[in-house]
Amino acid sequence: MRRNALDRIDRAILSDLQADGRMTNVELADRVGVSAPSCLRRVRTLEQAGLISGYHANLDAAKLGFSVTVFAQVGLSSQHDADLQAFEDLVASWPEVRECYMLTGDADFLLKIVAADWESYQAFLTTRLTAAPTVTHVKSALVYRTAKRLPGVPIDRTQR
């Protein structure tokens, strides 16, 4: 399903589910103005097309004991596909790394890392991240507070 093939109802479904993935199909259907069976068919079509890739709960990291969030810019000594893939595979095995992005510019990757405390992050940094093959440098930025955190993408419900 192409992005421009989405009609107003599909965009409303995506917007509402992005805001609250736990709402019932009946509530969603009522909100977007279609019958429940029609809404369910549309949701299944959006899932099958890969526009909805999953559902999850937003957890409070601090209340769960993860009081430190760090964004780390990582530089590698090699940008060969095999080395990039090997680094991505290694990062995928580290539960502390919650997000990983390959970048252009001075850093090759940007990692979002959570840790219980600063000492835990330092241990991760020195025993795993900087010890990883091809890692040449890491620049860490500690998050003091989060001013905005929205999942997903901005969906224009009014577009025709």
3-48: CATH class = mainly alpha
- For the domain with range 62-142, which CATH number is right: 3.30.1540.20, 3.30.70.920, 3.40.190.290, 3.40.350.10? 3.30.70.920
Helix crossing, 25-32 with 36-48: angle to 10°? Answer: 100
Q: What is the pLDDT of residue 160?
A: 66
Q: What is the pLDDT of residue 2?
A: 54
Boundaries of CATH 1.10.10.10 in the chain?
Answer: 3-48
Amino acid at 118: W
Given a cut of 80, is residue 4 above it in pLDDT? no
Strand ranges, E, within 4-160: 68-76, 97-102, 109-115, 135-142
% of the chain residues with pLDDT over 90: 91
pLDDT, tens digit, 9 for 90 and up, residues 20-72: 999 999 999 999 999 999 999 999 999 999 999 999 999 999 999 999 999 99
pTM of the model: 0.86
Boundaries of CATH 3.30.70.920 in the chain?
Answer: 62-142
